[in-house]
Amino acid sequence: MAEPVASAAGATVFGLVSGVAMNGLHLPHDSGVLAGIVCGSAMYLMRAREPSRWHKAIYFSVSLVGGFYLSNWAMPRFPTLPGWLVGFVPAVSIVTIAIPALDWVERNVPSTLDRIRAWALGKLPGGKANDDS
C-alpha cells in the first residue's frame, strides 16, 4: 500500500511545482485559467492506470503545455465562459488525445524503423538485412 501513497505524493509535488512555475512565468493572466489547466492535467493523474511514472509525467507535462496553448487560443473565442472552464477543458482534451496517439507511436514506430533499417541494410553493397553488427 506504500506505493500508491508515494506515487500520489510525487504527482502532487510535480503538479504544485509545475503550477508555481507556470504562474511564475506569468503564462496565463487569469488565475482561474491557471487553476483550470492544473486541475485538468491533474485529472489524468487521478484516473491513470499507467504502470510507469515516466508515462504519467510525460502525459501530465503534455497536458499542462497543451492545455496552456489551447486555453490561450480559446480565451478570446469564448469570452463568456468562466476562466477555470477555459483552462480545464483544453487540458483534459489534450490528455484524451495524447494517450491514444502516444500509445500508437510506441506500438508502431519501432517496428517501422526496424523495417526501414532492414531495407536500407539490404540495399547497401554487401549489406545483409539480418546482420545485427
SS (H, E, C) the chain: CHHHHHHHHHHHHHHHHHHHHHHHCCCCCCHHHHHHHHHHHHHHHHHCCCCCHHHHHHHHHHHHHHHHHHHHHHHHHCCCCCHHHHHHHHHHHHHHHHHHHHHHHHHHHHHHHHHHHHHHHHHCCCCCCCCCC
Q: What's the pLDDT tens digit per position in 43-84?
A: 777 776 777 788 788 778 878 888 888 888 888 888 898 888
pTM exceeding 0.75: no
Q: What's the pLDDT tens digit per position in 15-30?
A: 666 666 655 555 546 7
Q: Domain locations in the chain?
A: 2-95
